[in-house]
Structure 1
C-alpha cells in the first residue's frame, strides 16, 4: 500500500472512530436533565409585552423592515400563548398571528389578514412554512416544551467566549420540518446561544444566533437580538427588541381567537 493510500485509509478510519465516539458519549439522560433545568429557570414570568423590529434580507442584500409587537402569556401545565401584531409598513399593518403552544398536542395557530378580513388557521402540516415571508417557520414560534423533543447531551464547547452545553434536540412531531436541532446553552444561565436546524434530508438548513441578553425581574433572560440565517437560500431575518416589559396584567382571555379581528 503506497503512502497516499495508507494516509487516506487512516484518515477515513479516524473519522469513523470519531463519529462512533461522538455517538457513544451522547447521553439522553444528561440531555434531558439539562433541558429540564433550562425550562425550570424560565418559569413564573406570567406575561410580557415586547416592541420589536423585523428586518428581512434576500440573497442580494436587499432588505425590508417591519414594526411589530409581541404579547406573551405563560400557561401552567401547557404551552404558552403568543399574539404578534404588525404595525408597519402599511401593507402588513393590522396583520395578527395568534399561537397557542401545547406540550403534547399540535399547536393551534391562526393568522388574521386585514385585507381579506378573515382569520386563517395554520394547519399542523404547514407549520414548517415561513412566517410572514421571514426565515422563521411557524413551528419556530412555539414555546419551548420538553415534550416536543427527545434530547441528547453531546459535548461541552466554548462559544462566543462562553462555556456551553451542546444538545441535540429531535422533534417528536412527525410534521416538523426538522430532523434535528443542535442547541448551545451557556452553562451559567442555561440560555440558548446558537441553534442549528437540519432539514428533512438531514442537511444544515438554518442557524439562529441569540445576542444582547438582558435580565428581567432578577431572573429571566431575554435576547434582544435574534438573527436567523438560511444557508440554503442566502436569506436572513433579524429580530430586534427595543422595549420589553413583564407582568403587565395580561389575561388569558386576551389570547382568544376572537381578539384577532379587534387587535390594535
Structure 2
C-alpha cells in the first residue's frame, strides 16, 4: 500500500506515469486527486430547493438548508433542515458518513416528535419522496468504492475521465456506477447508477459549477432522472458560505428536535 501511495503521488507530478498503471490503479489515483482537491474546506452551509416531478410532469417543491462539517480521519457530518412547504417544515436529516463502516443517519419527524434511525439496509429508499436515495445524500468517501478507469471522453465540451465505481460497503442499492470526472476541476459531470440487476436505474448530472475560496467547486444545479419510473428531481443549491465556525455540537443527534 505504501508503494502504491508513493506511485500515486508521483503520478500527479509525472503525468506519464498514468500510462504505467493498471486501470484499477488509474481509477484510484484519479479519485485520490478528487479527494485531495476537495479537502480542507472546514465547514459550509447552503440554501437548497428540490423540485420533484412525477412521470406526468407534475411538480412539488421542498426548501431546506444544508450544513456540512468536514471530519478529519472520517466522513463528513451533514444536516439538512426543511422549511417549506408546511407539511415537511421542521423535518431534519442528520448523516455521519463513513468509509466501509455503515453511515449513521437519523430522521427527525416533527409530526411524531421523535428521531428515527434509518436502518442500514434501507439506505436505497427514496429521500423525502425524491429520486435521491438516502445513500446518495451521504458525502462521497474514497474508501466506499473500488475504482476502474474505463476511458477518456469529452462530455458536453468537458474533457473527462470515465471511471467505474463498485460499492465496497454493504447494502448498497447499486451494483456499480459509471462516473464522468472533469479533468480540469476534478469534480463529477455525470454519474450513471445501475441497480442490483445491473440495469441502468438513474442518471445524475451536475451543472453550473462555481468556485469558492479559490479552490472548492460546487455545482449549483443537479438533475437526477429515474429511467425506470419516469420521475426526476432537480436540486438547486445557492448562497454557499464556508468556514462559518460549525462544530460537532451543531450535528448532535440530541439537537435534531431543536433545529431551525
TM beyond 0.5: yes
1:96 aligned onto 2:92: yes
SS at match of 1:261: helix
Shift of 1:242: 2.5
Question: Which ranges in structure 2 are unaligned for 5 or more consecutive residues?
Answer: 1-20
Q: After superposition, where does 1:80-95 map in structure 2 within 5 Å?
A: 80-95=76-91
Contact 2:207/2:221 (CA < 8 Å) preserved in 1?
Answer: yes
Contact 1:185/1:191 (CA < 8 Å) preserved in 2?
Answer: yes
Shift of 1:254: 0.6
Contact 2:31/2:142 (CA < 8 Å) preserved in 1?
Answer: yes
SS at match of 2:197: coil
Query: Which residue matches 1:52?
Result: 48
| Aligned-CA RMSD value | 1.0
1:105 aligned onto 2:105: no
Query: Which residue matches 1:128?
Result: 124
Q: After superposition, where does 1:1-264 map in structure 2 within 5 Å?
A: 27-264=23-260
CA separation in 2, counterparts of 1:26 and 1:140?
28
CA separation in 2, counterparts of 1:190 and 1:203?
27
SS at match of 1:60: coil
SS at match of 1:103: coil
SS at match of 1:110: strand
CA separation in 1, counterparts of 2:50 and 2:243?
24
Larger Rg: 1 or 2?
A: 1
Contact 2:132/2:224 (CA < 8 Å) preserved in 1?
Answer: yes
CA separation in 1, counterparts of 2:36 and 2:214?
15
Shift of 1:26: 7.3
Contact 1:26/1:154 (CA < 8 Å) preserved in 2?
Answer: no
CA separation in 2, counterparts of 1:132 and 1:79?
22
CA separation in 2, counterparts of 1:88 and 1:48?
21
Contact 2:44/2:241 (CA < 8 Å) preserved in 1?
Answer: yes
CA separation in 2, counterparts of 1:78 and 1:117?
30
Query: Which residue matches 1:6?
Result: none
TM-score (norm 2): 0.91
- Cα deviation 1:54-95 (Å, max 9, x = unaligned): 100000000001110000000000000000000000000000
CA separation in 1, counterparts of 2:171 and 2:223?
24
CA separation in 2, counterparts of 1:220 and 1:29?
25
SS at match of 1:82: strand
Contact 1:39/1:144 (CA < 8 Å) preserved in 2?
Answer: no
Shift of 1:104: 2.4
